[in-house]
């Protein structure tokens, strides 16, 4: 690990009490959940359909059995535990330094780690609703259902509260995210390829002092950052003190 860069990150964190974190699937790979675009990510695994197709709204409607086969197998990781990145971000919030975590992840691990202000741009596998009557179901219900989960009350199909391709993002979560980023002094971006829009476009609202990128792979935003760290984000955050 590049310890000089870790020291620079510590200095940036020490010097701010208005940090916002913007993250993606790479934050959870060290918890054992595969991302999309890494070499061992879901896009490099072989399925009958490309993952982008399976997790789209029209596919969910047309082929719910196929959707749920993939979803339960690859996207419902209910036993996963937060790693050092999730835990340190929660500590930084408690220490009064970090204002919000804005995440593209749907795994609920930031909340499991103790973070309170978590803006889930793409929803959460932990919430599920009947598409007909709106009844709530937890993730265990979906996982344990035989094939497509159906509503106990009305028989309607249950859908995860996850933003599928072709679906829009929640306006209030978007505008809250814009506000946090616009007012932030330090923005730390981590574990995201920054290619999924409109989420990735949110970082254009940042006009603060320091932009930090922690990502294993190069991103289109590296050139504009004050500090770029290409080590594993959990390992990096395990070296940071929330003081
Ligand atoms: P992505 O496009 O798969 O990119 C992940 C990025 O993280 C890549 O650039 C990797 O190089 C990098 N990376 C992987 N592991 C690490 C690590 N340990 N440390 C640092 N960097 C790492 O994922 P994005 O989040 O950018 O794409 C957005 C999609 C992925 C969102 O819609 C998510 O809902 C979706 N997704 C979420 C999860 C989850 O909730 N855990 C899992 C898989 C996909």
Render pLDDT for 197-230 as a digit per residue (tens, 0 to 9): 888 899 999 999 999 999 999 999 999 999 999 9
Residue with tokens 């505008």: 175
What CATH number does the domain containing 203 carry?
Answer: 3.40.50.1220
Q: Residue 199: its pLDDT value, please?
A: 84
Average pLDDT over residues 90-115: 98
How remote is the CA of residue 150 from the centroid of ligand 1, in Å?
Answer: 30
Q: Which numbered atom of ligand 1 lies nearest the CA of 36?
A: 3
Q: Is residue 111 part of a domain?
A: yes
How remote is the CA of residue 155 from the centroid of ligand 1, in Å?
Answer: 34
Q: Mean pLDDT lowest for which of 32-46, 118-132, 172-186?
A: 32-46
Q: Is residue 235 part of a domain?
A: yes
Average pLDDT over residues 107-131: 97
How remote is the CA of residue 192 from the centroid of ligand 1, in Å?
Answer: 5
pTM of the model: 0.95
Which residue minimizes the CA distance to atom 22 of ligand 1? 26
Q: Residue 180: its pLDDT value, please?
A: 98
Q: Residue 50: its pLDDT value, please?
A: 85
Q: Quickly state the pLDDT bin for 52 (edges 50, 70, 90).
A: confident
Q: Is residue 19 part of a domain?
A: yes
Q: How far is it, in rounded angstroms, from Cα 27 to Cα 45?
A: 20
Cis peptide bond N-terminal to 147, omega within 30: no
Q: Which numbered atom of ligand 1 lies nearest the CA of 30?
A: 18
Q: What is the pLDDT of residues 9-33, one digit of tens each?
A: 999 999 999 999 999 999 999 999 9
Q: Residue 212: its pLDDT value, please?
A: 98
Q: Which residues are catalytic?
A: 122
Judged against a pLDDT cut of 80, whether residue 39 lies above it is answered with no
How remote is the CA of residue 193 from the centroid of ligand 1, in Å?
Answer: 7
Q: Which domain holds residue 205?
A: 1-33+82-121+168-243
* Ligand 1 binding pocket, CB closer than 6 Å: 24-26, 28-30, 33, 35-38, 41, 104-107, 122, 191-193, 196, 214-217, 232-234
Q: Residue 45: its pLDDT value, please?
A: 72
Q: Residue 61: its pLDDT value, please?
A: 96
Q: Is residue 26 part of a domain?
A: yes
Q: Is residue 20 part of a domain?
A: yes
Q: Is residue 116 part of a domain?
A: yes
Q: Is residue 243 part of a domain?
A: yes
Judged against a pLDDT cut of 80, whether residue 47 lies above it is answered with no
- The number of domains in the chain is 1
Q: Residue 48: its pLDDT value, please?
A: 82
Q: What is the pLDDT of residues 137-170, one digit of tens each?
A: 999 999 999 999 999 999 999 999 999 999 999 9
Provide the mean pLDDT of the chain: 95
What proportion of the chain, given as a percentage, has pLDDT over 90? 88
Q: How far is it, in rounded angstroms, from Cα 73 to Cα 239?
A: 33
């Amino acid at each position: 690990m590049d310890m000089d860069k870790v020291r620079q990150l510590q200095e940036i964190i020490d010097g701010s009490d208005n940090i916002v974190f913007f993250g993606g699937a790479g934050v959870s790979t060290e918890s054992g959940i595969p991302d999309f675009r890494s070499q061992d990510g879901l896009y490099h695994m072989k399925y009958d359909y490309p993952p982008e197709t399976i997790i789209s709204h029209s596919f969910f409607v047309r082929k719910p059995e196929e959707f749920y086969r993939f979803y339960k197998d690859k996207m419902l990781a209910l036993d996963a535990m937060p790693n050092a990145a999730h835990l340190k971000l929660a500590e930084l919030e408690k220490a009064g330094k970090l204002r919000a975590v804005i995440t593209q992840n749907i795994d609920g691990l930031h909340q499991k780690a103790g973070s309170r202000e978590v803006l889930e741009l793409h929803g959460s596998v932990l919430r599920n609703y009947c598409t007909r009557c709106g009844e709530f179901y937890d993730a265990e219900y979906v996982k344990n259902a035989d094939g497509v989960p159906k509503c106990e009350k009305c028989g309607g199909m249950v859908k995860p509260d996850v933003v599928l391709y072709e679906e829009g993002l929640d306006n209030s979560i978007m505008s809250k995210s814009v506000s946090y980023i616009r007012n932030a002094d330090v923005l730390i971006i981590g574990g995201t390829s920054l290619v999924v829009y409109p989420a990735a476009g949110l970082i254009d609202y940042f006009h603060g002092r320091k932009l930090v990128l922690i990502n294993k792979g190069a991103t289109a935003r590296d050139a504009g950052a004050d500090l770029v760290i290409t080590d594993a984000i959990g390992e990096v955050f395990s070296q940071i003190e929330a003081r």
